[in-house]
Chains A and B, each alone.
Chain A
Amino acid sequence: MIELFKFFKKKETSKDVAKERLKLVLIHDRSNVSPQFLEMVKSEIIKVIQNYMEIDEDALDIQLTRTNSDDGERIVPALVANIPIKGMKNIGR
């Protein structure tokens, strides 16, 4: 009965619109992290990478952004880091 109902009603309902809008706005809200938090993440990443390579710390850029998911159907939050490498270290080779 409900299926039949859906068949005749192709139009998007207002609650579908609400849900879609909410999902988008929440991705933004949830990824809206403080600069201090990003600074913490940044320093940890530097620490790990420095074990293996020499990097330009001042030019390191890290930010939260939005991107399409792998299947291209959703928008998901992403952590994007740009880390210029100056040279490799010799450990482990």
Chain B
Amino acid sequence: MGEVIVITSGKGGVGKTTTTANLGTGIAMQGKKVVLIDTDIGLRNLDVVMGLENRIVYDLVDVIEGQCRLKQALIKDKRYDGLYLLPAPQTRDKNSVAPHQMVTLCNELRQEFDYILIDCPAGIEQGFKNAIAGADRAVVVTTPEVSAVRDADRIIGLLEANEIRNPHLIVNRVRPDMVKRGDMMSIEDIIDILAIGLIGVIPDDENIIISTNRGEPVVTDSKSLAGQAYRNITRRIMGEEVPLMNFNTSDGFLAKMKKLFGIKPA
């Protein structure tokens, strides 16, 4: 039986879709079967981040309304066996889906896949309720900014109210140089405020933009720092214990990190 994990944040633009794409690809790289569901109806983006935008025929709402079979709507990834995408429709509104339909869909996918990752839309309205309806656990993405942390706190409360306990936190776009000079909240500061378990830290890395430009998740890039961070999180999600990357280097952070992780094979 597969496990359903929702990736959520409250605030928009903190990296939910990028995280979903990278964790999904990372899990597939480990040889597991995984499906990514884009629930951001009307604003689909997971397809372009995955580089699968040209293959869409059917979408989530087509499946839910019975316009096509589930298998017909699943798009197979071009690089990894066992990696599939269920895209969001672009021309419908979020009320085309109800939470109980998401539960049914997730339960059907559980039979077939090891992991089902749900990319949640921003906000706390219907789209959020749909996205979390079928989830067993949650990953909350935030960045070291007051607005993102505040919204993450709200989301954590709402997850708990919906009986999704112990969500895990990813802090995205951390800049160690700014943390060092006291101009960015540190991981410890954020954990102190949100009081939930940390599952990983993604350094701010221009490779994310470069890889998104190409439609190839950065997790496949063995030389990038963010890629290494995502590979570590993938393993933690799958139950492995992996130590956190150390950002507290005294000099030449990038050079040191490259030396530490850059030569490491995927």
Contact = CB atoms under 8 A, between A and B. Distances in A.
Chains A and B form a bound pair: yes
B184 interface: yes
A18 to B, nearest CB: 5
B182 A22 contact: no
A26 B185 contact: no
B153 A29 contact: yes
A26 B153 contact: yes
Interface residues of A, number: 14
- The contact size tier of chain B is 10 to 19
Interface string B5-48: 00000000000000000000000000000000000000000000
Contacts of A18: 145-146, 185
Most buried by B among A13, A22, A25, A29: A22
Contacts of A3: none
Contacts of A43: none
Contacts of B185: 15, 18-19
Contacts, number: 36
B168 interface: no
A21 B189 CA distance: 13
The dominant DSSP class at the A interface is helix
A16 interface: yes
Nearest to B145: A18
A23 interface: yes
Contacts of A21: 146
B184 A15 contact: yes
A15 B183 contact: yes
Closest 6 CB pairs of A and B: A13-B182, A15-B185, A14-B183, A18-B146, A22-B146, A15-B182
7 contacts: A13-B181, A13-B183, A14-B183, A15-B182, A15-B184, A19-B189, A22-B146
Interface of A: 9, 13-16, 18-19, 21-23, 25-26, 29-30
